[in-house]
Structure 1
């Protein structure tokens, strides 16, 4: 028995999702930019040269001078390599006139406005039967836009060479793209929310609002490099197919859902500032009813939150915070003081951090540090099973850490308390100690010791991570989780061994201390919301299961 996902219950959910995909696409947030692409500024130069040639050959008319695009007309900031262009800068018309022979007539009724397509079979009329509106020439690749009741989005690409030749209604604005401008990209932009808002602002009339050609062709288009247009079109069509599947069945298969969710959550991690994140988050958040409809989706959201946290995007920076450079200097000074007193050994010299190692740009006030700059690792002891007692001091083993990091004492082993205080004193644990599994199938698992474990000593195959007091423990645990997932690529199926020297050289983006606290508080808030959502999903699944059982047994 198949049950509808939340999207099936959300009014207009799929339509809203389609709008979101187009909005992200035309803002350059759906596929990454490639600095090796020829920029759109060069494409515009080639288009101007092509336009001049076609004018000289008498194939198109010269456009009227176009006004310079003002900042007020630009609905969003462009990625590097993109340019703003008015519609006539990148397209041209194909002329118009009264038909003199039979023709294929494309009128508004021929448009599938949900998919942006023209019917394969359209009316074929004799010239003598031509309606007065059958005037505008089109060809394969032409984009047509109904300027009457534009909110219906009767917009499409002429995908075929019709026989006899096609003529469109004067209800359409006709745009034939110049070389280097993809018809499908132009179609997606014209259907997107930014352009729709422009058209609505210029349309006049109540019952049948319309925009005249003069105003329509003043519209601006965000133009990517030609190669990026192709990537955008491919990605949009992949995601629209997922929307089709969702619309048809009310749910997506796991792989399809993961693809859609991954694409949209990636727009969050591509944000460059907390302010940009807030904007992107708002777009995604309005579709959470569609996206977060299963536990795996909540897992993906939590991983996204983790990435945002360690990159400094979850909370705004405060220029009055003491910068992390001062914090690192304090740590170094304290270490040197303890070394001079003979209380600790001199730490091994860590190599300098190169630009190639840095995985992302840091916010103002942050600094790159290696794990070894701000923490130390102490290994456990290989206790023998012959030493185990039925009670006494707990031997904290790998099996005492659950996958979520909480402590599991259901299978506990103990040693004699006297031995723990003497022979094994160096392996004693305290509440709050952070532990990391360094070998085997649980590699990378992180645990935090709590009061109920004590007294306890550390077993083999784990490190106790001693974090400097100038670094918040919970923030450092977030960094450890990020290192495991994105630097070490640790998953639930990973086996192997983690070398101490390698781990100490892993990079951490270190914020000011007070910002660390703000980040932890924000992550805790969001994690609480995720936990609540998991409970709601589990409750929903339980209801569905009971209902299914009742139907089967009823």
Structure 2
């Protein structure tokens, strides 16, 4: 217990600290170190004699079958020495253990759904120890169905097969029928059910259960389960242990709530500060918000969620013209748009781009906020040459004269994964690039699916085709700074992904992208914005690295504490 108190702060602050604290409590309990021993308690050996006598009475009365003989020798199986008065026992020696009955899906629905009788508990209705069983699942077994085994009130259930084997367990507070993947343990000798439940949840028991598992699905047979060893204290001490664990687990629950409340408050305060910072109505003070964030920087950015929100805010400030100061001697964006329009006409005349139908004028309701002096609103197609790749499915090809076909699945870590791309024939490739030839510094943008909005900037000179992705090209790279456009697209992606979450297959059309309204800064300011974003994103990277390092250190310290037990 001194160890618990000494490293309380570590357990509280480490990511899995409270879960580790629960495990430590159970480990100490199973080692006899959680509550003091009382020499006046009847030893476990006497309890076992009473249990043997009880089993003989139950067999004679026909209430249980004669228990199978369990191995007596425990030599080489005992993981540690127990206190005086305790004893290692086989699980099957202290309780009547049996599994339930299976019901096929059609029979369950047609015969037992809505019936009257005993609740039928399947694996899905069992929690992970502290949760009550779900008795209100709508499935009941009539009392006259004699083929169903009944687990009585106070039985301890545990899942014995599948992904939840050894993890899901719980107590019955009423008589039930139950599934064949569950084992029920009806205890002898007035052993408290809650003590066995805590035993099932303890690391020492779970290690023994895992060692007994076999098969591809993973499970433990009853024959193996009843042979698992567990430490048995005197009966009076079992009750003291249960009371102490209940008390400490309630403390852990309170700690988890406190930590969750602290995190929620930190997130809410940060969200409020960012909201004021991004306020477009003029109702809040951006300077006050920045001052608040600066004053409480260390506390606000101790959680990764706030850093993720900070990244979004940086991009939002950038596209609103609030990230860097404006200079009056910068050539305004209106002049830049005229130069782009002149360049477009030249490219059309040379046959390098096609004439597109005029875009509609920007309506007042499309303007989300006021732009700084020198900026201008424009359609994306007025600023960039917006195209897309093929929507056909060219056949795979092999051999030297082939080319990669890139989709959004090949966007990996900010670059193109050519190694895992499909290859297509030269004939198909040259047909596709007639409309969408990709060049260095072009931007590829995912238009469909769960990764909608993911984008990469092409950093190498290499021939490849694209499919189902948008392609943003430049009328002239000296007019629109590629890395500023990339940052604008990252901001756009956040909005698209939030709108697409939870819906049907998300999709943005080429027309939608071409008609997007963009706030265009002067050319020189684009460069200043890009530099500032890079600087601030680098700070975010550093903050995340510090959190990861601190988390790792706390986890290592906590594991070292656990190793001392």
- TM-score normalised to structure 1 length: 0.51
1:457 aligns with 2:481: no
SS at match of 1:296: helix
Specify whether residues 371 and 397 from structure 1 end up closer, same or farther in structure 2 by C-alpha distance, changes over 3 A only: same
Map residues 331-370 of structure 1 onto 2, 5 A cutoff. Answer: 331-370=340-379
Specify whether residues 339 and 456 from structure 1 end up closer, same or farther in structure 2 by C-alpha distance, changes over 3 A only: closer
Contact 2:433/2:465 (<8 A) preserved: yes
How far did residue 421 of structure 1 move? 4.9
SS at match of 1:284: helix
1:467 aligns with 2:474: yes
Q: Structure 2: which 5+ residue stretches go unaligned?
A: 1-9, 16-253
Q: Structure 1: which 5+ residue stretches go unaligned?
A: 7-244
Which of 481, 500, 505 is residue 490 of structure 2 equivalent to?
481
Q: For the residues of structure 2 that align with 1:343 and 1:407, how far apart are their CA atoms?
A: 26
Rg (Cα) greater in structure: 2
Map residues 87-236 of structure 1 onto 2, 5 A cutoff. Answer: none
Select between 359-368 and 385-394 the one with higher mean Cα deviation: 385-394
Which of 504, 525, 534 is residue 524 of structure 1 equivalent to?
534
Q: How many residues align?
A: 312
Map residues 256-405 of structure 1 onto 2, 5 A cutoff. Answer: 256-270=265-279, 277=286, 280-382=289-391, 384=393, 386-389=395-398, 392-402=402-412, 405=414
Q: For the residues of structure 2 that align with 1:364 and 1:531, how far apart are their CA atoms?
A: 32
Q: For the residues of structure 1 that align with 2:262 and 2:407, how far apart are their CA atoms?
A: 39
Report what 1:18 is aligned to: none
How far did residue 484 of structure 1 move? 2.9
Q: For the residues of structure 1 that align with 2:319 and 2:365, how far apart are their CA atoms?
A: 18
Residue deviations 1:425-470 (CA, integer Å, cap 9, x gap): 554422222001111122111112222x823221x21011113321
Map residues 400-415 of structure 1 onto 2, 5 A cutoff. Answer: 400-402=410-412, 405-409=414-418, 411-415=420-424
1:537 aligns with 2:543: no
Contact 1:4/1:251 (<8 A) preserved: no
How far did residue 409 of structure 1 move? 4.2
SS at match of 1:525: helix
1:502 aligns with 2:512: yes
Q: For the residues of structure 2 that align with 1:478 and 1:438, how far apart are their CA atoms?
A: 17
Q: For the residues of structure 2 that align with 1:486 and 1:382, how far apart are their CA atoms?
A: 25
Residue deviations 1:82-136 (CA, integer Å, cap 9, x gap): xxxxxxxxxxxxxxxxxxxxxxxxxxxxxxxxxxxxxxxxxxxxxxxxxxxxxxx
Q: For the residues of structure 2 that align with 1:288 and 1:328, how far apart are their CA atoms?
A: 40
Q: For the residues of structure 2 that align with 1:270 and 1:261, how far apart are their CA atoms?
A: 14
Q: For the residues of structure 1 that align with 2:289 and 2:421, how far apart are their CA atoms?
A: 47
SS at match of 2:524: helix
Specify whether residues 390 and 286 from structure 1 end up closer, same or farther in structure 2 by C-alpha distance, changes over 3 A only: farther
How far did residue 490 of structure 1 move? 4.4
How far did residue 280 of structure 1 move? 3.3
Specify whether residues 434 and 484 from structure 1 end up closer, same or farther in structure 2 by C-alpha distance, changes over 3 A only: same
Q: For the residues of structure 1 that align with 2:563 and 2:263, how far apart are their CA atoms?
A: 28
Contact 1:272/1:313 (<8 A) preserved: no
SS at match of 2:316: helix
Specify whether residues 523 and 463 from structure 1 end up closer, same or farther in structure 2 by C-alpha distance, changes over 3 A only: same
Q: For the residues of structure 1 that align with 2:417 and 2:502, how far apart are their CA atoms?
A: 20
Residue deviations 1:347-368 (CA, integer Å, cap 9, x gap): 2211111221111110000000
SS at match of 1:440: coil
Specify whether residues 384 and 483 from structure 1 end up closer, same or farther in structure 2 by C-alpha distance, changes over 3 A only: closer
Map residues 42-61 of structure 1 onto 2, 5 A cutoff. Answer: none
Q: For the residues of structure 1 that align with 2:315 and 2:499, how far apart are their CA atoms?
A: 15
Contact 1:437/1:445 (<8 A) preserved: yes
Specify whether residues 271 and 290 from structure 1 end up closer, same or farther in structure 2 by C-alpha distance, changes over 3 A only: farther
Q: For the residues of structure 1 that align with 2:357 and 2:497, how far apart are their CA atoms?
A: 22
Select between 438-447 and 321-330 the one with higher mean Cα deviation: 438-447
Contact 1:442/1:492 (<8 A) preserved: no
Residue deviations 1:503-545 (CA, integer Å, cap 9, x gap): 2111111110000100000000000111111111111111222
Q: For the residues of structure 1 that align with 2:468 and 2:428, how far apart are their CA atoms?
A: 20
Contact 2:344/2:475 (<8 A) preserved: no
Contact 2:14/2:555 (<8 A) preserved: no
Q: For the residues of structure 1 that align with 2:497 and 2:393, how far apart are their CA atoms?
A: 30
Report what 2:206 is aligned to: none
How far did residue 258 of structure 1 move? 2.5
- TM-score normalised to structure 2 length: 0.50
Contact 1:371/1:507 (<8 A) preserved: yes
SS at match of 2:544: helix
Residue deviations 1:328-377 (CA, integer Å, cap 9, x gap): 11111222333344443222211111221111110000000111111122
